[in-house]
Amino acid sequence: MIFKENDVICTIMKRFALILFYMLTVCLGVAAQHTVFSGTVANEKSGERIAQASISVDGTDVAVVTNDDGFFTLKVDRLPADITISRLGYRSEHLHIQENPPDGFNIKLKPAPIALPEVVVWTGDPRELVNIAIEKIPDNYSSSPELYKCFYRETAMKRQHYIYVAEGVMDMYKTPYDRGIGRDKVAIIKGRRLLSPKQSDTLGVKVLGGPVLPVQLDIVKNLDFLLNEKELDNYAFELLPHATINDRLQYVVAISPYTLQPYALYFGRFYIDCETLSFTRAELTLDMSDPLKATLYMLFKKPRGVRFKPKELSLLVDYKQENGVTRISYIRNTFRFNCDWKRRLLATSFTAFCEMVVTDRATDGIHPILGRDSFNSHDTFFDRVDYFLDPNFWEDYNIIEPTESLDKAISKLLKKYK
C-alpha cells in the first residue's frame, strides 16, 4: 500500500506540475541590503491579521507580502522613508518611517467604503467590459522586456502534516505583453528544499511543480489559458458590486460555467480597474460539480485500486499598477484531493500549495536568460536546489516569511534529519 500511495501522489503531482503549477516566477540578482524591519498587518476594527497584504517601498520596485499570519519582513539597503501597505477591500496605508520599533510595526488597515461616482458605473454587458479590458492589454502592460526578482515557495501536506517544503529566489526575463510566452525564461539564483525522511512520503513530492511552469498562469499574457473568445463563450458573466484595490475602484465581473464541455470549467472573478480598464486581479476555482471531469483535469494516472477524490483547484493572480503600467505582483495556487484504497476505511487527504511574490524589478542592463541557464518544464525544483542547512540562507533576499505552523514543521523535519 505504501508504494501505491507514493505512486499516486507522484503521478498526481506530475499532472499538477504540467497543468496547474504554471505560476509566474519573476526575479533578478539581489543588491547589497543591510536594513531589516518587520511587523504585522491587521484589520483595524476586528483586529484580525490580514494575509497577502502588499508592503512596498515608495519610489522603488521593492515589495513583499504578509504571510497567512499577517506577518512580514522587508530587507532594504537603507531604512525607507515611506512604505505603502495595501490589500483588496481596505484603504491603503502610507507610513513615513523614521526608525524601526524594537517590537516591529503593527499596522492597522481600515475597510474601504465604496463610493461610486457616476463616471465609474458600467451599465452595459459585463462580457463586453472583459473584451475591452483584453483589447487594452497592450496599452496597460509592459511594452518592453523586463527582468524581475521574486521569491517562490511550494509545499505539500499529507493530512495535517507537512511532508515537503521548497523555496527559492529566481530571475525571470519577460517579453512585452503584445507577444507570447515562448521566450519568457526563469533561472534559479538560490533555493533549498526539505523532504520528509519517511520512505512513504518521498516519491509523493519529488515532482511537485516548478517555478518555470507558472509562466502559463499569467492569464493576461497567456491568453490561451482563458482570456480568448472561444474559451469565454463557455461562461456566463455577472457584474458584481465594486471593490477597491490600492485605493482604486475596481469593476468586479464574476464568471460561471454556461455550456457543457468534456472538461471542467472555472468559477471566478475578474477585477478590472475602473479608470484604465486593466486586469488587476483574477480569482479562479475549478468546478467540482462533476467529480469525473475534475479528476480528468487534475489526474494523470493512478495505480489500480486507488480512488481519487478531487477537492479543490484554485488560483489567485494579482497585478499592481505603477506609473501607468500594470505588472504581475503575486500568485497563489492551491490543490487539494483525497485518495483512498478499497481495503482502507479512511481516505488520506493531500494539499499542494505554492505562492510567488515579485520583490524587485531591474531598470537597466536587462538581457534574456540563456537557454543553458534557464529552468525548463522538464526540470523539477526539488532536484535543482539544496537541503535546509544554513540558518542564514536567505541573507539579504526578501522572502515571504513562513507561517508559525510551517516554521514549526520545518524545525521538526530538520530534527528528523539530524
Q: What is the rounded distance in angstroms from the CA atom of residue 184 to the CA atom of residue 24?
A: 10
Higher pLDDT, 344 or 322: 322
Assign 134 a pLDDT band (cuts: 50, 70, 90). very high
139 three-state secondary structure = helix
C-alpha cell at 135: 483589447
Worst-scoring range by mean pLDDT, 261-270, 336-345, 362-371?
A: 336-345
Assign 363 a pLDDT band (cuts: 50, 70, 90). confident
Structural Rg of the chain based on CA atoms? 21
Q: Would you state the pLDDT for residue 115?
A: 64
Q: Are the beta carbons of 71 and 52 closer than 8 angstroms?
A: no
* Unique residue bearing C-alpha cell 508592503: 55
pLDDT at 127 over 60: yes
Rounded to 5 degrees, φ, ψ at 235 are -125, 150
Give the pLDDT mean for 390-407.
84
Q: Are the beta carbons of 235 and 125 closer than 8 angstroms?
A: no
What is the overall mean pLDDT for the chain?
Answer: 81
Sheet architecture: strand order including 35-43: 71-76, 35-43, 105-109
List 307's β-bridge partners, or say none: 340
Instruction: Name the residue type at position 348.
Output: T
Query: Per residue in 26-56, pLDDT tens?
Result: 223 333 446 788 889 999 999 999 999 999 9
Beta strands in 122-228 (DSSP E): 146-158, 161-174, 185-195
The CA-atom distances, in angstroms, between 312 and each of 19, 20, 193, 349, 401 are 14, 12, 25, 11, 25
Q: Are the beta carbons of 163 and 196 closer than 8 angstroms?
A: yes
Q: DSSP string of 60-108?
A: SS-EEE--TTSEEEEEESS--SEEEEE-TTB--EEEE-SS--TT-EEEE
Q: What is the rounded distance in angstroms from the CA atom of residue 91 to the CA atom of residue 39?
A: 18
Q: Are the beta carbons of 37 and 80 closer than 8 angstroms?
A: no
Q: Would you state the pLDDT for residue 34?
A: 64
Q: Would you state the pLDDT for residue 214?
A: 66
Worst-scoring range by mean pLDDT, 10-14, 57-61, 152-156?
A: 10-14
C-alpha cell at 236: 456566463
% of the chain at pLDDT higher than 90: 40
Higher pLDDT, 24 or 166: 166
pLDDT at 159 over 90: no
Q: DSSP string of 217-261?
A: G-TTT-TTSS-SHHHHTTEEEEEEEEEEETTEEEEEEEEEE-S--
307 sits in which H/E element: strand 306-322
Q: Which residues of 263-285 are buried (b: 16+ CB within 10 A; e: fewer)?
A: ebbbbbbbbbbbebbbbbbbbbe
% of the chain at pLDDT higher than 70: 81
Query: Per residue in 192-244, pLDDT tens?
Result: 888 877 756 554 444 445 677 667 789 999 999 999 999 999 999 999 999 99
